[in-house]
A and B are shown apart, each in its own frame.
Chain A
């Protein structure tokens, strides 16, 4: 049963159940964190609303279109962070207290066990906020066609894959870069650029946004697809994300091998 799809699903569902149980231990802290987290994530939305309220705008984007990008960003983050985000913190903590190696005593790939045990219910606030914001924006925009919805589904999956690649890469760094949680802050800063239309970026950064570290794939590309707008080089982002995901998994395995090759 360990290797079957049902076995994998059972493990991750149990991880979700355990994650929720852990967070509900301190209910007040959980509720407060959920609200604070939601509030913090709405800062870019507030800035965007203030910008449009003062008569300015992102070139070529209406207020609701611009806010839809942020809504999609929150939905993707609200799915990726609860499912995988805790891996960064977990890996860092386990490597620091020496319990990371215990993952190797379980009949699973350590990355999977680490991921299954990383569920963080606190981040569900992002998902709730994202759904509300996206729903509100969509109710004020023309309804998307089936083709637009299909395109959105593909690019939304790409967004989740990019979050996963970034989280795995950060977790890897913490295997060797013990206790340095700055990687998380660096990533968050870069990822936050993905909440605004590419048009606001200097021309040199636009290429990077879709083909280098394609932060436009976090939300701009899926939201554009939902709105029926094209993003130049969007398919390049697919290649970039696939490469980044492959690279992050390779990096994780390589650093794990380095760890098991060490003494202690």
Chain B
């Protein structure tokens, strides 16, 4: 498989106008507008292989959306280069490139509101010039995979968020894209709807579609992505496997314990008391470089009566929070 994306020194600076509040500033801005340059993306290098599923993370305003808009050909960068699918520069070869690109935006519907999704599908067929039999075959398969045979004949406005999202996915894949951009695809969905969407994403990725997933929902990332890219302050904050991100601040374990007689003064080297609620529910974090799990469990068993106990990896949120805060890695 080749490269889906080769990104070198990608940068985007744009000019924003500044205006104060109040009538005086409003009138002054008619004559003279103050502006400043914002470096939304400040030089990103990235390679994505075809068939990969990459999770893009980043705090609000970090430059994540701007980066994805440049990768999808919507925005022109002010610096750097992108070679997509081995031959396209997204913003100059836009028409050819986007034939290979699909996109789903959790917060921007591409379905026409008043009519059933199947009417929007027909429009998409005309826009992409999909031959009738290919269209029929793809639609049948997507209808089957996404279970939308009834949904796609009802007006879009009458659909639930989960049904609408499944129909959005079908729309984005009708032209058989090799590259799929997903921006918050599970936002606002209930657990079951999220599961269905995630299973579908895994399935199309397994069939070879490269997926670039942007989300703030870390459970999407944990469930789907093997590789994480974190963009912060317009730069690449992290690029690597999910496990590497988890272990960036040392190997840790989260110990949850229920015990009515554990002393509040209980402590051990490497063990941090994360929380306890006064009703016997405790949460510790153990730094495995500073202490052994075996020793901690042994000491706990000796110090109190254990009603319940679990040992887990620390949540991904912790690692991401540390990354956003700029904490130094071990």
Contacts and interface: CB of A to CB of B under 8 A. Distances in A.
Interface of A: 1-4, 7, 10-11, 13-15, 17-18, 21-22, 25-26, 97-99, 101-102, 104-109, 113, 116-117, 257, 260-264
Given A102-B110, A263-B66, A11 B99 contact: no
B292 interface: no
The winner among B66, B94, B110, B122 for most chain A CB atoms within 10 A is B94
15 contacts: A13-B126, A14-B125, A22-B115, A25-B114, A26-B114, A98-B108, A101-B74, A105-B74, A105-B101, A106-B98, A107-B98, A108-B127, A116-B123, A262-B75, A263-B75
Nearest to A98: B108
Contacts of B126: 7, 10-11, 13-15, 116
Contacts of A97: 108
A257 B110 CA distance: 22
Dominant SS among interface residues on chain B: mixed
A11 B127 contact: yes
A242 to B, nearest CB: 26
Of A7, A101, A107, A257, most buried by chain B (CB within 10 Å of CB) is A107
Contacts of B248: none
A260 B76 contact: yes
A44 to B, nearest CB: 32
B119 A21 contact: yes
A204 B268 CA distance: 95
B114 A104 contact: no
A10 B131 CA distance: 12
Nearest to B122: A14
A9 to B, nearest CB: 9
A117 B108 contact: no
Contacts of A261: 14, 75-76
Contacts of A260: 74-76, 91
Nearest to A101: B74
A26 B73 CA distance: 37
B70 to A, nearest CB: 10
Most chain B CB within 10 A, of A1, A26, A98, A105, is at: A105
**Residue with the highest number of chain B CB atoms closer than 10 Å, among A2, A26, A97:** A2
Name the 8 nearest CB pairs between A and B, nearest first. Answer: A263-B14, A1-B129, A2-B129, A14-B126, A25-B114, A11-B126, A107-B99, A263-B40
A255 to B, nearest CB: 14
A245 B34 CA distance: 34
Q: Which of A10, A13, A21, A113 gathers most chain B CB within 10 Å?
A: A21
A131 B109 CA distance: 39
B281 interface: no
Given A102-B110, A105-B98, A260-B91, A1 B131 contact: yes
Nearest to B72: A105
B11 to A, nearest CB: 11
Contacts of A101: 69, 74
Interface in B217-251: none
A169 to B, nearest CB: 24
A263 B38 contact: yes
A11 B123 CA distance: 7
B309 to A, nearest CB: 49
A15 B123 CA distance: 7
Contact of A117 (B65, B66, B105, B123): B123
Given A104-B94, A107-B98, A263-B14, A18 B74 contact: no
A102 B123 contact: no
A105 B119 contact: no
B94 A262 contact: no
B12 interface: yes
Contact of A14 (B40, B74, B76, B123): B123
A204 B326 CA distance: 69
B157 to A, nearest CB: 9
